[in-house]
Amino acid sequence: MGEVIVVTSGKGGVGKTTTTANLGTGLAQLGYKVALVDADIGLRNLDVVLGLENRIVYDITDVTGGHCRLRQALIKDKRYEGLFLLPAAQTKDKTAVSPDQMKVLCGDLSQEFDYVIIDCPAGIEQGFRNAIAGADKAIVVTTPEVSAVRDADRIIGLLEAAELREPKLIINRVRQKMVAAGDMMNIDDIIDILAIDLLGVVPEDEMVIITTNRGEAVIQDDRSRSGMAFRNIVRRITGEQVPLLNLEEGGLFSKIRRFIGLK
């Protein structure tokens, strides 16, 4: 039985789809069988991020509606043997799938795959409820901004109410220079406020945009900081203990500050 993990955030545009694509690619690189489910019905995105947009025949609503078999709707990745995508429907809305159907779907997928990762839509409405219905675990993505952290807090409350205990946090788009200058909340600030476990920190990185332009995941790029951050997160998901990247701990200034005893 595989693990079903939902990637969620509340606020839109903080990096759920990017995270889903990278974690899926990273786990497949390690040899796991991974199914990525795009639960953002009506705003299909994961296919283009993965560069698989030209291969879609069936989508998630065809599966839940019984128009095709699950196997037929799963799209095999170009590069990684064990990586598959179940695309969202583009022309339907969020009510086209029900939470009960999602539970069945996730149950079926977890029979075949080591990891099933669900890309959740923004918001707290039906799309969110669908996306979390079949999940065993949750990853909450946020950025170091007031609105994103506030929404993350709301989502954490809703996840716990739905019995998805102990969600893990990814802080995305951290700008180390701003953190060092005291103009961006740091990891401690955010963990303090949200009081949940940190799964990892991903820096703001142009390479995310460049690789996404090509339909690739930044985790495939060995040299990028963000790729490194995602690789660490992947290893933590598989149960490895991996220390935080340096950038996650603060830059030169905070080191000097600590050194001269100014905290």
Ligand X SMILES: Nc1ncnc2c1ncn2[C@@H]1O[C@H](COP(=O)(O)OP(=O)(O)OP(=O)(O)O)[C@@H](O)[C@H]1O
Binding-residue pattern over the window 198 to 217 for ligand X, x denoting contact by CB under 6 A: ----x-xx--xx--x-----
Please, which residue, 45 or 224, has the CB nearer to Mg ion? 45
CA distance 137 to 130: 14
Torsion of CA 87, 92, 97, 102, to 10 degrees: 10
Backbone phi and psi for residue 77, each to the nearest 5 degrees, phi listed first: -65, 155
Quick check: helix, strand or coil at residue 77?
coil
* Strand pairing category for 3-8 and 168-174: unpaired
DSSP characters for 138-167? EEEEE-SSHHHHHHHHHHHHHHHHTT--S-
Beta strand segments in 91-155, E: 115-119, 137-142
Quick check: helix, strand or coil at residue 92?
coil
Query: From its phi and psi, is residue 231 left (phi > 0), alpha (psi between -120 and 50) or beta?
Result: alpha
Question: In this chain, which of 149, 170, 201, 234 binds another protein, going by CB under 8 A?
Answer: 149
Please, which residue, 10 or 24, has the CB nearer to another protein? 10
15 binds ligand X (CB under 6 A): yes
Stretch that binds Mg ion, among 13-21, 93-101, 139-147, 189-197 (CB under 5 A): 13-21
Supply the minimum distance, in Å, between the C-beta of residue 126 and another protein: 20
29 binds Mg ion (CB under 5 A): no
Q: How many residues bind another protein (CB under 8 A)?
A: 22
Footprint of another protein on residues 62-91 (CB under 8 A)? none
Footprint of Mg ion on residues 40-99 (CB under 5 A)? 45
Please, which residue, 39 or 74, has the CB nearer to Mg ion? 39
Footprint of another protein on residues 180-239 (CB under 8 A)? 181-186, 189, 193
CA distance 255 to 43: 43
Please, which residue, 18 or 176, has the CB nearer to ligand X? 18
Where on the chain is the footprint of ligand X (CB under 6 A)?
A: 9, 12-18, 40, 45, 122, 172-173, 202, 204-205, 208-209, 212, 226
Q: Provide the binding-site residues for another protein, judged by CB under 8 A.
A: 145-146, 149-150, 153-154, 157, 179, 181-186, 189, 193, 253, 256-257, 260, 262-263
